[in-house]
Amino acid sequence: MRGGEIWYQRESRAEPLDTAYGALLDEPDTLLAVGCLDDVVLGFGVVTVETLRSADRLGVVTDLFVEPDARSVGIGELIVELLIEFCAERGCIGVDAVALPGHRAAKNFFETNGFTARALVMHRKL
């Protein structure tokens, strides 16, 4: 996907991943949720609550992944519902998530779950 390489270098979690994700479990304003089918983990999501300069709180979905073969059974929707509920319980004014340009399926997924675009990041390759 366009933008994926820079996203990977800038925003993705650094390895070792067990350490990176394990540290999230102790963060009170972060939720790491997994989606299972028949006791098999097929997806996961992470949301962190940030405090804005206005003192308002904003949920930021930093990770959301569902195995390709499991993307039509509702696991992603359930994970997103958990992430949104977590943010609502913490008084967030909204929830942000990123979809890479050209990733129509991700854009459609978020729109189906009530998200709308509020910003576009422009980039010029040098």
Q: Which domains does the chain have, with CATH numbers?
A: 4-112 (3.40.630.30)
The Cβ of residue 107 has, within 10 Å, a number of other Cβ atoms equal to 15
3-state secondary structure of 75: helix
Confidence band of 102 (pLDDT split at 50, 70, 90): confident
38's tokens: 């028949």
Q: What is the pLDDT of residues 110-120, one digit of tens each?
A: 999 999 999 88
Q: What letter does residue 3 receive in the DSSP assignment?
A: T
68 upstream amide cis, omega within 30 of 0: no
Considering the entire predicted model, what is its pTM? 0.93
50's tokens: 């940030």
The Cβ of residue 82 has, within 10 Å, a number of other Cβ atoms equal to 16
Which value, in Å, is the radius of gyration of the alpha carbons in the chain? 15
Q: Where does the chain have alpha helices with state H?
A: 4-10, 17-24, 75-89, 104-112
The kind and range of the H/E element at 112 are helix 104-112
Confidence band of 105 (pLDDT split at 50, 70, 90): very high
